[in-house]
Structure 1
Amino acid sequence: MIRLLLAVTISTAISLFGTRYLIKWLTEKGIGQPIREDGPGGHKTKAGTPTMGGIAVVAGSAIAYIISDLYNGIYTRSGLFVMLAIVGSGIVGFFDDWLKVRNARNLGLNKKMKVIGLLVVAFGFAILMVSFTDVHTEVSFTRWDSLSIDLGPVGWTLWAAFIILAMSNAVNLTDGLDGLAAGSSTLSFSAFTVISFWAFRHPEIYDLDHALD
């Protein structure tokens, strides 16, 4: 439990303070977000807003995972695969933003390349989980052995890849609205923190031992 709280504290601190200094550095370098000419007029005021802020979030997650597991922890295959998925998705987003800045236009990776990149990450993660861990392939709204549907390895792989692709695009769409995705993400991350805290406090109910492979 201490590891969980330590990870949350470290990742939050790095994300908040890292973003502050990252924004300052990006502003000094003139690295900002181009705005589409055919977009709403109000969005033009956001031109030049520092982009690539996801670097701080991904870095915060990775560093928090590494440091927290140094405290009486163990680097499990499940945890490593999750981190690979986070970093992989971050790399796709980085190239998307980098192309926008380099070309000075609001067009980074095209839709096809972005989807292909995310599919590689999503299916890579799902296949690794099914092949090298004891991940449960049951889908349930409560716990894995209660009112669950066993999708099997193939079905779970497709389901996991779909969830990753859907969530990535949902965040991307939210970030493209009039407000940035930081506020929405904070609420989601907080909810998952509570869920993780509760689940790890009741391992006999949620059978989390399978994650320690």
Structure 2
Amino acid sequence: MTQIIISGVVSFLIAIFLTPVLIRRFSAEGLGQEIREDGPASHLRKRGTPTMGGIAILAGILGGYVVATIVGVLTGSTAFTASGILVLLLTLALGGLGFADDYIKLAKGRNLGLNKKGKLFGQLAAAVLFGFFALRFENDSGISPASTHLSFIRDIDTVDLAFGGGILGTVVFLVFIYFLVSAWSNAVNLTDGLDGLAAGSTAMVMVAYTTMTFWQFRNSCDVAVQPGCYSVRDPLDLAMLAAAGAGACAGFLWWNAAPAKIFMGDTGSLALGGLVAGLSVTSRTELLMIIVGALFVIEVASVAIQIIVFKTRGTRVFRMAPFHHHFESGGWAETTVTIRFWLLAAMACTAGMALFYSEWLTSAGV
């Protein structure tokens, strides 16, 4: 528990003190956000606001996790693990992809960064490498960071995405991991459209996952094989990463809350999406994440629905997509939309944790 607290506190302190440094530096260099012309008119006043604040989030996650792990090494309790390193590398890789996207936007003074092929290749490379290595590094109990079985709160034994093995099975599994990584990174990216919305919502998701992965650690099958125990390779490391994500988002939110002094940009949103995807795979909760991160699901679904209906019927379901812009266009103040969406995110996280705990009660026979 001490390491989880250290991870969250260190990441929070790094993010809250590094962000104003980035604000001053980027403001001095004129590295401001370009605003899409077809967006809400009220957002035009945000043009020129510093972006790439996701650097502070990445620094917070990295610093919090590393410091907490070093404390574990010095006290002889834990060391760096395969699960933690793989999820961290996935987060950093997608953050690097987002940084490239943001940098191109700023360098060319436009609202479009990497082209679709460039972003697709970057997400594909990060996802395939993560998926490939996540099936390796088995511990003494034969548990690897990831499983080829689809999972809800635990692995669903009857659904093997790799069909028992083989080249074709491996390809299918890697395609699934790519879909997962791409979907979550794009979902968080689309949610990052209002001051504080993505940072606040992701912080809640990370708090939920800190709680659940710590519970997996306390009831690990590696400690004692008993009813309700969890076959997750490195749950304590995952809890530290989730706590680092929560702390970094909270520290950044201090400066990103309306009116935002800086935006996280794709550097932050793609990285946080990678963290969400990585945690869901390594904690064996891929389908549960859909409930915990329901706000992100709603946002990306609204864009998909808008595109499909417009292309097939020539009409729009929403005034504007993603979903948060629909309410802005209806006259809601930006802060009103953000706070109400935070409430939705909190309810989704609560529902996910309730399902997680109730499943444990049933499995443990309590």
Matching of residue 102 in structure 1 with residue 104 in structure 2: no
Q: Look up the match of 1:76.
A: 81
Structure 1 residue 177, shift from structure 2 partner: 5.1
Q: Alignment length, in residue pairs?
A: 211
SS in structure 2 opposite 1:86? helix
Q: Is the 8 A contact 2:84 2:234 kept in 1?
A: no
Q: Cα deviation per residue 1:70-116 (whole Å; 9 max; x = unaligned)?
A: 12221122221111111100000001111111111111111221121
Match of 1:117 in 2: 122
In 2, Cα distance between the equivalents of 1:45 and 1:210?
A: 46
1:150 aligns with 2:160: yes
Unaligned 5+ runs, structure 1: none
Structure with larger Rg: 2
Residue number among 210, 213, 237 corresponding to 1:193 in the alignment: 210
Q: 2:60: which partner in 1?
A: 60
Aligned residues of 1:140 and 1:148 also touching (Cα < 8 A): no
CA shift, 1:170, in A, is: 0.4
CA distance change for structure 1 residues 43 and 24 in 2, over 3 Å: closer, same or farther? same
Three-state SS of the structure 2 residue aligned to 1:51 is coil
Work out whether residues 32 and 49 of structure 1, in 8 Å CA contact, stay in contact via their aligned partners in 2: yes
Residue 152 of structure 2 corresponds to 141
Aligned to 2:44: 44
Residue identity matched to 2:151: S
2:36 aligned counterpart, secondary structure: coil
The TM-score normalised by the length of structure 1 is 0.88
Give 1:13 deviation, angstroms.
2.4
Quick check: 1:10–1:64 contact (8 Å CA) kept in 2?
yes
In structure 2, distance between residues paired with 1:190 and 1:170: 19
TM-score, normalization: structure 2? Answer: 0.53
How many Å separate the matches in 1 of 2:197 and 2:232? 34
Letter in structure 2 aligned against 1:89? L
Greater relative contact order, per chain length (Cα 8 Å cut-off, separation 6+): 2
Paired residue secondary structure (1:52): coil
> Quick one: distance in 2 between partners of 1:56 and 1:210?
26
SS of structure 2 residue aligned to 1:203: coil
Q: CA deviation at 1:185?
A: 1.6
Q: Identity rate of aligned residues, in percent?
A: 41
Partner Cα separation in structure 1 for residue 48 and residue 56 of structure 2: 19
1:85 equivalenced with 2:90 (yes/no)? yes
Any unmatched runs of 5+ in structure 2?
73-77, 139-143, 222-228, 238-366
One-letter amino acid of the counterpart of residue 69, structure 1: T
The answer to whether structure 1 residue 163 and structure 2 residue 163 are counterparts is no
Pairing partner for 1:208 from 232, 252, 262 = 232
Alignment check: 8 A CA contact 2:15 2:56 kept: yes
| Distance in 2 of aligned mates of 1:139 and 1:51 | 37
Matches of 2:234 and 2:86 in 1, distance apart? 14
Post-superposition offset of 1:171? 1.0
Cα 1:51–1:148 shift into 2, 3 Å:
farther
Amino acid at match of 2:153: T
1:139 partner SS: strand
CA distance 1:78–1:184, shift in 2 (3 Å): same
2:35 corresponds in structure 1 to 35
Q: CA distance change for structure 1 residues 173 and 210 in 2, over 3 Å: closer, same or farther?
A: closer
1:206 alignment partner, SS class: coil
